[in-house]
Amino acid sequence: MNVVYILWLREVKKYLRSKTQIVASLGTPLMYLAVLGFGLGPVFRRAGEGSYLQFMAPGVIGMTVLFTAMFSGIAMLWDRQFGFLKETLVAPVPRVQIMIGRTLGGATVAVLQGFIIFAVTLVAGFRPTSVMSVPLAFLLIALIAIVFSALATAIGSSLKEMAGFQMVMNFLVMPLWFLSGALYPLQGLPAALAVLTRVDPLTYGIDGVRGTMIGASHFGIPLDVGVLLAVGVLFVTAGAWRFSKIEV
């Protein structure tokens, strides 16, 4: 059986068996939806921007996908610590296949988690403009998941300790999230902040999801998709290169 499929299936099965992880991962998105979605809703409406929940829900889905995809890098560190990674690397298969299998597995888990949060937003009152917009949005969500799962693979291949990945979460993932425009409109930002949002690949992912789901895209969906594809190629290439150099 193809090693890509085996590793992909392993990651998905591990996620589906972890009921505690699924439930626990709902905490932060629910907090943002409840505290910010409803708390800032009146302020957003008075500013003439409409429903804040409508605006914010795609960002919360993007946050969930980002965090879940990046945590796939922690799974690699656990596999290294307990010897599974070494057993995988000594198999007579190209390392790039192992990397692709792990990346696709992490991306699939992130998309599943994003779908759960999407269902939660529907319960909270979020409504996409049309039913047909949802599959298109999830194609973009899958692209976001692949981009950041590949980045997590590249980072996980470069680290040997869990503490190092915690620093990555604090100094990379959180800025990516807060600079993505998930919580605020991208129009009228100060010049420095506007530049930072434009170099954040997650900005284009959330903008694309928001554009397909509620028809409010700042950059335009073609540009969003183009940037995600370009960054995805870059991160997958970097991940494959770093994984080929990994030592256990």
Q: What is the DSSP letter of 132?
A: T
The per-type count for the chain, helices as H runs and strands as E runs, is: 14, 0
pLDDT digits (tens, 9 = 90+) for 203-231: 999 999 999 999 989 999 999 999 999 99
Tell which residue, 173, 119, 150, 166, has the closest CA to residue 232.
150
In the chain, the number of structural domains is 1
How far apart (Å, rounded) are the C-alpha atoms in residues 108 and 122? 21
The token duo for 6 is 């085996």
pLDDT digits (tens, 9 = 90+) for 78-132: 777 766 777 777 767 788 888 898 899 999 999 999 999 999 899 888 999 999 9
Q: Given this model, what pLDDT does residue 141 score?
A: 96
Q: Which of 13-22, 61-70, 149-158 has the lowest mean pLDDT?
A: 13-22
Give the number of C-alpha atoms closer than 13 A to the C-alpha of residue 208, restricted to the C-beta side: 25
Domain that holds residue 42: 3-244
Count other C-beta atoms under 10 Å from residue 26's C-beta.
14
Mean pLDDT taken over the chain: 85
Q: What is the DSSP letter of 57?
A: H
Residues 136, 137, 141, 147, Cα dihedral to 10°: 60
